[in-house]
């Protein structure tokens, strides 16, 4: 990568960072390209040259944010933690991210909701499914997930727990969330029957 490309990459990272911060805080409609440019230290023309439209900037910023979250999940999966600890960390991060995105949907005009849902669906198909397959394969390899469980059934099961976690995730009450996650992890791995005592 030459000097020009490095400078362009740094500018784009600043634009992404500022854009997602402002879009998540105020919503797509209330944020102007001029505000983003001013806070990112670039000209509005630079943003239009890189992205074409405010809508494309929003889409690219959201995908960039999703990529960064997915990288965190990958790091957790590749860490030295035990599989249950990895699952706990991933679920806590997922609950937090789902809450952020859940707060974002009401700020998008209904005419743009279809596009946002399409972005999320496409991202899930292209990248999240691959991560989830790795997660399930590792769980089976380490003996925490039954080998006869399908990926599809595991995805349903994981989603049930995600939805429950999202309900608990409140910024003012994270101690309660952390306390509940241990009980949820016990249920996630051992069901209502609990661990088999030898």
Task: Write the DSSP string, 154-170.
Answer: HHHHHHHHHHHHHHH--
Does 162 lie in the same domain as 99?
Answer: yes
Query: Could you tell me if residue 46 is inside a domain?
Result: yes
| CATH number for position 167 | 1.10.357.10
pLDDT at 180: 63
Poorest-pLDDT segment among 9-13, 128-132, 193-197: 193-197
**Quick one: pLDDT at residue 178?**
55
Whether residues 35 and 67 share a domain: the answer is no
86 and 179 together in one domain:
yes
Q: Which residue has the higher pLDDT, 107 or 128?
A: 128
Same domain, 36 and 63: no
**Residues 59 and 48 occupy one common structural domain:** no
Asked if pLDDT for residue 11 goes beyond 80, the answer is yes
Q: Do residues 131 and 117 share a domain?
A: yes
Report pLDDT digits (tens) over 173-190: 555 555 566 777 777 777
> Is the predicted pLDDT of residue 172 greater than 50, yes or no?
no
- Residues 5, 77, single domain; the answer is no
Write the pLDDT tens digit of every residue in 73-124.
999 999 999 998 998 888 888 878 877 777 765 566 555 556 677 787 788 8
Distance of CA 64 to the CA centre of its chain: 10
pLDDT of residue 171: 45
HSE-up of residue 7 (Cα within 13 Å, Cβ side): 6
User: Is residue 148 assigned to a domain?
Assistant: yes
Question: Do the domain assignments include residue 196?
Answer: no
Among the ranges 1-10, 66-75, 167-176, which has the highest mean pLDDT value? 66-75
The Cα 20–Cα 18 span in angstroms is 6
Same domain for 171 and 116: yes
* CATH number of 16's domain: 1.10.10.60
**Of residues 40 and 93, more confidently modeled:** 40
Q: How far apart are CA 49 and CA 15, in angstroms?
A: 12
Please tell me the predicted confidence (pLDDT) of residue 191: 73
198: pLDDT confidence band, cut at 50, 70 and 90?
Answer: very low
Are 121 and 96 members of one domain? yes
Claim to verify: residue 135 and residue 166 sit in the same structural domain: yes
Residue 197 lies in a domain: no
Which residues form the domain of 88?
55-190
Q: How distant, in Å, are the alpha carbons of 17, 104, 123, 138, 178 from that of 63? A: 12, 14, 8, 26, 28
Query: Residue 149: inside a domain, yes or no?
Result: yes
pTM, two decimals, is: 0.79
User: How many domains in the chain?
Assistant: 2
Position 103 in a domain: yes
Residue 72 resides in a domain:
yes
Give yes or no: residues 178 and 109 share one domain. yes
118: in domain: yes
pLDDT tens-digit series, residues 136-150: 999 999 998 888 988
DSSP string, 90-151: HHHHHHHHHHHHHHHGGGS-HHHHHHHHHHHHHHIIIIIHHHHHHHHHHHHHTTSS-TT--H
Please report the pLDDT score of residue 105 as a whole number.
Answer: 59
DSSP state of 173: G
Q: Are residues 41 and 65 in the same domain?
A: no
């Amino acid at each position: 990568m030459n000097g020009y490309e490095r400078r362009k990459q740094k500018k784009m990272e600043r634009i992404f960072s500022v854009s997602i911060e402002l879009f998540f805080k105020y919503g797509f409609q209330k944020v102007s390209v001029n505000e983003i440019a001013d806070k990112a230290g670039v000209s509005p023309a630079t943003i239009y040259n890189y992205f074409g439209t405010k809508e494309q900037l929003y889409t690219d910023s959201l995908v960039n944010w999703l990529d960064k979250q997915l990288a965190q999940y990958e790091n957790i999966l590749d860490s030295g933690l035990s599989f249950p600890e990895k699952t706990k960390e991933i679920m806590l991060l997922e609950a937090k991210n789902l809450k952020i995105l859940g707060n974002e949907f009401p700020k998008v005009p209904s005419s743009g909701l279809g596009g946002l849902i399409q972005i999320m669906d496409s991202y899930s198909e292209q990248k999240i499914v691959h991560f989830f397959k790795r997660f399930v394969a590792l769980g089976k390899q380490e003996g925490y997930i039954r080998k006869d469980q399908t990926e599809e059934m595991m995805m349903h099961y994981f989603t049930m727990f995600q939805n429950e976690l999202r309900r608990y995730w409140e910024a003012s009450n994270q101690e309660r969330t952390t306390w509940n996650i241990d009980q949820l992890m016990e249920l996630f791995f051992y069901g209502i029957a609990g661990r088999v005592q030898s």
